[in-house]
A and B are shown apart, each in its own frame.
Chain A
């Protein structure tokens, strides 16, 4: 089938569709109302919950910071707090930017460029978050031990003997998946951008 033939078929179909009306005014109003409600109730729920948990942890560590009585515990405390505050904000910000494409004002090309760039940025934030997560996993354990049980876990050699190899193994296996997953997304975004430049 040639493109001109396709066009003819498309015209026939369009004429037929114009005769058939699915929507009523009431349905349009109902659909927009329902969508509006759904949007309000589903604003990035998983990310929002994650952010609340992170902020609560940061607040807890901040209020009890005085209990961290050695320089290394303080350093672990600072790393944990910064991680809990900065990363969720970056993550929410990149998701929020994805939603901010002006559908009426941007052309299709502009919307695609913005979308691809934001996707690329989102992947970078997710990747950075994952790798920093490993540092966080190491830093948060002594802080939690000190604040919740009053113990300096950094002095517990036995614990670190199994915790570090376990964390490394987990990180290694998981990072393979993360790399593969996000690399294909980033590659897709870059191909799209290249295609748009032509």
Chain B
């Protein structure tokens, strides 16, 4: 199941960190936490909802450690972390996209990631714990924020 969703893990890692080394560490940490937390997975709920929850919560708990550079582990197991390059124009746009998201707050990053993943407001609410209407408000606010950033 982890392999099926590895693209999501990769995207979460890139949304929260701009340095490749940190992304690699977070990627491995999420894989580890998914494996470790599997017992807490309730079969009645959706696997993808649980997985996003673990991935996003791992990213939060990893932010502090990455800042303090404590508990860092070697990442030699993941030498080929970088995905194959897309065409140059798309590569540039994707880079810009990640950079824009990284300017958002930690709350907004989680919400925008789920929104871009095509999750409906109800599922975003279920993963994040905000009410559906609050998710809508926050998405509108993020839209405004990104718009302002583009017009700068």
Residues of A within 8 A of B96 (CB): 1
Residues of B within 8 A of A38 (CB): 71, 73
Residues of A within 8 A of B126 (CB): 107
A18 near B: Cβ within 8 Å?
A: yes
**19 further contact pairs, Cβ within 8 A, besides A10-B97, A22-B6:** A3-B143, A3-B146, A6-B100, A13-B11, A13-B86, A13-B94, A14-B7, A20-B83, A22-B83, A24-B3, A27-B77, A35-B31, A101-B57, A103-B57, A104-B39, A104-B54, A108-B110, A109-B129, A112-B107
Which residues of B, 82-112, contact A by the 8 Å Cβ criterion?
A: 83-84, 86, 90, 93-94, 96-97, 100, 105-107, 110
Q: Check A107/B116 contact, CB under 8 A, given A9-B93, A27-B77.
A: no
Minimum CB–CB distance for B68 against chain A, Å: 11
A28 near B: Cβ within 8 Å?
A: yes
* Bound-state Cα–Cα, A98 to B129, Å: 19
Residues of B within 8 A of A112 (CB): 60, 106-107
Highest count of chain B CB atoms <10 Å: which of A1, A7, A23? A23
* Bound-state Cα–Cα, A99 to B62, Å: 10
Summarize A's interface: helix, strand, loop or mixed. Answer: helix
**Mask: chain A, 111-146; 1 = CB below 8 Å from B; 0 = not:** 110010001000000000000000000000000000
Chain A positions near chain B (C-beta within 8 angstroms): 1-3, 6-7, 9-14, 16-18, 20-25, 27-28, 30-32, 34-36, 38, 42, 98-99, 101-112, 115, 119, 192, 195-196, 198
Residues of B within 8 A of A104 (CB): 37, 39-41, 50, 53-54, 57
Q: Check A111/B7 contact, CB under 8 A, given A9-B97, A195-B105.
A: no
Q: Check A102/B40 contact, CB under 8 A, given A31-B31, A35-B29.
A: yes
Q: Which of B7, B94, B106 contacts A9 (CB 8 A)?
A: B94
Ordered nearest first, which 5 A-B pairs have the shortest CB separation? Answer: A107-B129, A104-B40, A109-B129, A17-B7, A35-B32
* Bound-state Cα–Cα, A192 to B42, Å: 29
Residues of B within 8 A of A13 (CB): 11, 86, 90, 94, 97
